[in-house]
A = this chain, B = another copy of it.
């Protein structure tokens, strides 16, 4: 049976399946992200060697998904994770990374919007052709 506290001794952590449910990424992907160096530090383990995700881990993964959804490559996320995992002192570098990402996202958004506008025109043409 499913036991949310299995091996957890009531410390409020989540199993990988629960973390997957909480973040919306698959368990496969959670392991993949860890292997790819996206977790700052390796996820904690129960005595059974099973992963135990803290609330902080969940928040981190959630932020990772925001970076992914906006198109940041895994390599760059790994770089950001390395910086974040190194502790204080590199905030400027982290800021630069995020700011540059933001710039690219806005650029891309603009490109998509411009292309969508052209598609909209085509749609209007079909619409009119059909209405007649």
- A66 and B118: CB pair below 8 A? yes
Kindly state whether residue A44 has any CB partner on chain B within 8 Å: no
Question: What separation, in Å, do the CA atoms of A120 and B127 have in the docked complex?
Answer: 39
Residues of B near A70 (CB, < 8 A) are 112, 115-116, 119
> With contacts A105-B112, A109-B113, A112-B70 known, is A119 near B98, CB below 8 A?
yes
Kindly state whether residue A111 has any CB partner on chain B within 8 Å: yes
| Chain B proximity of A11: nearest CB distance (Å) | 27
| Chain B proximity of A36: nearest CB distance (Å) | 20
Residues of B near A123 (CB, < 8 A) are 95, 98-99, 102
- A102 and B116: CB pair below 8 A? yes
How many chain-A residues does the 8 Å CB contact rule pick out?
A: 32
| Chain B proximity of A42: nearest CB distance (Å) | 23
Kindly state whether residue A101 has any CB partner on chain B within 8 Å: yes
Residues of B near A129 (CB, < 8 A) are 91
Question: What separation, in Å, do the CA atoms of A24 and B126 have in the docked complex?
Answer: 26
- A95 and B130: CB pair below 8 A? yes
- A105 and B116: CB pair below 8 A? yes
Given contacts A91-B126, A98-B123, A105-B119, 14 further A-B contacts (CB under 8 A): A63-B122, A66-B115, A69-B111, A70-B116, A94-B126, A95-B123, A95-B130, A98-B126, A102-B116, A102-B120, A102-B123, A105-B112, A109-B109, A109-B116
